[in-house]
Amino acid sequence: MSIQLIRNPDEATLNQLGVTSWPIWEKEVSTFPWTYDSNETCYILEGRVMVTPDGGEAVEIKAGDLVTFPAGMHCTWEILEPIRKHYRFD
């Protein structure tokens, strides 16, 4: 169970996924645990976060990244710079 990360995906990929029609979520600098009940794909518009899966390695995610978190993953979010992202749950 791992985080899938694409740095700076091209416009064609973002358009094919319909990213701009997804809702937006924002959060200030903070640290909190999170569990994914379903797959989440998100595109980071602003900010930077370290996401550490339980028992795994921390992954830095920042503006311009397209990332997918798998259903069932338990992790800790450490938001280092305020986050603004488009997101979609599958």
Write down the domain spans for the chain. 4-89
pLDDT tens figures, 54-87: 999 999 999 999 999 999 999 999 999 999 999 9
Q: Does CATH number 2.60.120.10 belong to domain 4-89?
A: yes
Residue 43 near residue 65 (C-beta atoms within 8 A): yes
- Stated pTM of the model: 0.94
Query: Which DSSP category does 12 fall into?
Result: H
Residue 87 near residue 56 (C-beta atoms within 8 A): no
pLDDT tens figures, 2-60: 999 999 999 999 999 999 999 999 999 999 999 999 999 999 999 999 999 999 999 99
